[in-house]
Amino acid sequence: MAATAGTVGSTGTVGPVGTGRPGQGGPLRRVGRALRVATVAVVCVGTVGVAACGAYTPGPGPRPTDRPEVVTIGVDGSTVQKRLAETYTRELAVNDREATTVAVASSMRVDAVRDGKVDLVIGCVGELLDVLNPDKGRQLRVMYREDGGEDTDEWRDITHSTMLSALPSDLDASDPGIAVGCDDPTLPQNIVAVYRRGVIDRDDRQALNWAAGGTTSEDLGVTETPTAPRR
């Protein structure tokens, strides 16, 4: 999957990532979306510029020469992360990549990847944004609440793009999944993998995206999906 901003259909609205289906809605919906996207750009431009909040396209080129033989996945011990790690491991194996898991405290995930203790960690787009840039998280949370979170696919992608813009330059992330892995409904909490650049190549990233796109909240043992905030 080449972009994090979903697929744009003939109506001009955003449909679910990976489905290829056009979004639904009329002119008023499109106007509302344009206003929301313009407002979200203000959140991004404060520190890194609007470009960082756009769609992500993995770079072409040969496989990195520093790819480890085994991908080390850091998990915090929760059922959600353990099951996700198992899914990622299976998909990477299809790509002839071996993976193993090690325990990492939730609060140390980003540092563990940057320090090279692990190659990949798991989280949710909203909670990781709060970890990486709490100010952006607060700003986006206000806009999400005011909008009512009516378009869950769009807000998933907006939150993911904002989270991407907050990542250190040596880290990158997969596309957001369809499953919700965290229980904070004040921002979208779709699953996502964060990894160190040079460790995961284009094919590996595609495997991560396939895993995320084929994993539901029920698969992760999440029995109740948080609802969007009401205005």
Residue 76: is its pLDDT beyond 50?
Answer: yes
Assess if residue 11 is contained within a domain.
Answer: yes
Domain count along the chain:
1
Q: What CATH code is carried by the domain that includes residue 154?
A: 3.40.190.10
Contacts of 215-220 with C-beta under 8 Å, sequence gap 24+, read 215/84, 215/87, 215/177, 215/178, 215/179, 215/191, 216/178, 216/179, 217/179, 217/180, 217/181, 219/83, 219/87, 219/179, 220/79, 220/80, 220/83, 220/84, 220/179, 220/181, 220/191
CA distance 165 to 140: 13
Residue 120 DSSP symbol: E
Assess if residue 148 is contained within a domain.
Answer: yes
Q: What is the pLDDT of residues 78-134, one digit of tens each?
A: 999 999 999 999 999 998 999 999 999 999 999 999 999 999 999 999 999 999 999
Using an 8 Å Cβ cutoff, are 201 and 120 in contact?
no
Assess if residue 179 is contained within a domain.
Answer: yes
Please tell me the predicted confidence (pLDDT) of residue 4. 37
User: What is the residue range of 145's domain?
Assistant: 7-59+66-220
The strand pairing partners of 149, in sequence order, are none
Q: What is the pLDDT of residues 48-71, one digit of tens each?
A: 443 345 443 444 333 455 678 899
Assess if residue 90 is contained within a domain.
Answer: yes
Assess if residue 87 is contained within a domain.
Answer: yes
pLDDT (average), residues 202-211: 93
Assess if residue 1 is contained within a domain.
Answer: no
Assess if residue 203 is contained within a domain.
Answer: yes
Residue 138: phi, psi to the nearest 5? -65, -45
